[in-house]
Amino acid sequence: MNYQDKPKPRFFYGWIVVACCFICCFSYVLFYTLGVFFTALRSEFGLSSALTSSIHSLHLLVFIPSTFLMGWLGDKYGPRLPIILGAIFFGIGFSLLSKVNSLSQFYLFYAIASLGAGIIWSLPTATVQKWFIKNSGLALGIVVAGVGAAEMVFPPLAEHLISSYGWRTAYIQMGVGVAVLLLIASLGATTLERKGLQPYGTESLTQQEMVRKALSEVSWSRSEALRNKTLWLICAFYFCSVLPIHMLAIHLVPFAESIGIERAIAARLWILVGGMSILGRVFAPTFVEGTIGWRKGLIIVTAILALSFFWLSMIVSLRMLLVFAVIYGFFYGGKVPLIPGLIRSYFGTKSLGQLIGIVHAISLIGGAIGPFLAGYIVDVTGIYVVAFLIGAGFLALAAFLVWLSKAPKGVV
């Protein structure tokens, strides 16, 4: 029986979107609650802002090899195995954080949890793109919208757990809970080949779309893509755009506290950011896929993010911060799915998981620098203005770099 003869139940296509969305939702933001834990950890261990921020930098440095490993496992064996491994690392690492008595122990157990972080991004975004020909932008947007949903839930949840049970117990509860949910999500993670299916929408393609699909099947291998300058421009763009985003992920709550906003209220800012980012994550890929294209979409959203960081440097009140959260949330969310969409449109699906992993891994170096840099600047100056202006500059540079990137003409 060939592909055309096999049934194409919509259930499997829908389930893979749900499973990939769960992976993003219940793993990505777990590490970005550090901003809510920030004050408690700084007080517990007598740390500076820079040292407290370095916890997140350590996470991102461990994230890099994990991204390569999980991307390779996903391309070779399918998504289920890396998801299970990620769940185990999350559960063990975050549970052990409750037992630490020093910063070095905290580093060790946080690094163990971070070994599972490779499942967070390249695995679900590559998997869902392989499953969809038509409506791939919408499917990708729904998957990464899981991150926005988690941004709405996890920071306020973390603040509640810290206030009610202390930061140690909060880490156990969140780590074990996420591990269980990921194991459930792994049941729905499979490949097209194992289900005997073609990507969704293949049977209804027009002649023009069939030609485009045939061209896209001349996919680039990892080594071929690495020899093309376009991939490295995308890496540089992602590095520059991730540095300020991770800076804010850790320092939004401390910044809000620094201008007189209570931690509970500051943590709830993520509800607004997350809610707006869901809209951006779903709307942006759906809109740009059939209109202006992935590249132009990235230029626009990144430029607006640069302006939003410039605005952030001038914020002195909750009202101004709420305006920022609305604008930043929408365009930050919109940027997220456009990057894997651009990579697929340029290089195909043959090594998509590994290429997304490579680009993401390089970006995480910028992500590791951002929080530490902001913490150091605050330690020296006592304010966040300079840090946020630097963030605006990196985002402006990122918009220019993606403008320079052009679709590769062929396999080298």
Residue 5 lies in a domain: no
The pLDDT of residue 7 is above 50: no
Residue 7 lies in a domain: no
What's the rounded mean pLDDT across residues 377-398?
Answer: 94
Residue 378 lies in a domain: yes
- Count of other CB atoms within 10 angstroms of residue 13: 20
Residue 3 lies in a domain: no
Is residue 166 left, alpha or beta, with left meaning phi > 0 and alpha meaning psi from -120 to 50? left
Distance of CA 60 to the CA centre of its chain: 12
Q: pLDDT band for position 208 (50/70/90)?
A: low
What's the rounded mean pLDDT across residues 368-380?
Answer: 91
Residue 14 lies in a domain: no
Each residue of 225-237: pLDDT tens digit? Answer: 888 888 899 999 9
Phi and psi dihedrals of 198, rounded to 5? -95, 165
Each residue of 17-47: pLDDT tens digit? Answer: 777 777 776 666 678 788 889 888 988 989 8
- Give yes or no for a contact between 7 and 131, defined as CB atoms under 8 angstroms apart: no
What's the rounded mean pLDDT across residues 59-73?
Answer: 82
Residue 165: per-residue pLDDT: 92
Please name which of 409, 391, 289, 279 lies closest in space to residue 338, comparing C-alpha atoms: 289
Angle between helices 229-258 and 34-45 in degrees, nearest 10: 60
Rounded Cα gap, residues 313 and 378, in angstroms:
13
Max mean pLDDT range (128-142, 189-203, 344-358): 344-358
Largest CA distance in the chain: 69
What's the rounded mean pLDDT across residues 204-222?
Answer: 57
| Coarse DSSP helix, strand, coil percentages of the chain, rounded to the nearest 5 percent | 80, 0, 15
Residue 117: per-residue pLDDT: 82
Residue 412 lies in a domain: no
Each residue of 150-183: pLDDT tens digit? Answer: 777 788 888 889 999 999 999 999 889 888 888 8
Q: pLDDT band for position 201 (50/70/90)?
A: low
Strand pairing partners for 132?
Answer: 200
What's the rounded mean pLDDT across residues 93-104?
Answer: 91
- Give alpha helix (H) positions in 187-262: 192-195, 207-216, 222-226, 229-258
Phi and psi dihedrals of 325, rounded to 5? -60, -40
DSSP letter at 382 equals S
Q: Which CATH number goes with the domain that contains 388?
A: 1.20.1250.20
What is the rounded (10 degree) CA torsion for 152, 153, 154, 157? 130
Each residue of 332-358: pLDDT tens digit? Answer: 988 988 888 888 888 877 777 778 778
Residue 166: per-residue pLDDT: 93
**Mean pLDDT score of the chain:** 82
Least confident range from 87-96, 304-313, 349-358: namely 349-358
Residue 218: per-residue pLDDT: 54
If one counts the domains in the chain, the total is 1
- Give yes or no for a contact between 190 and 79, defined as CB atoms under 8 angstroms apart: yes
Strand pairing partners for 200?
Answer: 132
Structure tokens given for 333: 């969310």
Is residue 6 left, alpha or beta, with left meaning phi > 0 and alpha meaning psi from -120 to 50? beta
Of residues 222 and 302, more confidently modeled: 302
Of residues 58 and 31, more confidently modeled: 58
Residue 235: per-residue pLDDT: 92
Residue 10: per-residue pLDDT: 63
Structure tokens given for 184: 């459930």
Residue 2: per-residue pLDDT: 43
Max mean pLDDT range (165-174, 257-266, 283-292): 165-174
Residue 3: per-residue pLDDT: 42
CA atoms within 13 A on the CB side of 107: 11
Residue 166 lies in a domain: yes
CA atoms within 13 A on the CB side of 315: 27
Rounded Cα gap, residues 36 and 167, in angstroms:
10
Q: Which residues contact 249 (CB under 8 A, 6 or more apart)?
A: 32, 34, 35, 56, 371
Q: pLDDT band for position 411 (50/70/90)?
A: very low
Rounded alpha-carbon distances, angstroms, from residue 161 to 24, 264, 312: 22, 11, 29
Structural domain of 294: 19-404
Q: Which residues contact 40 (CB under 8 A, 6 or more apart)?
A: 162, 167
Residue 332 lies in a domain: yes
Q: What is the pTM of this model?
A: 0.73
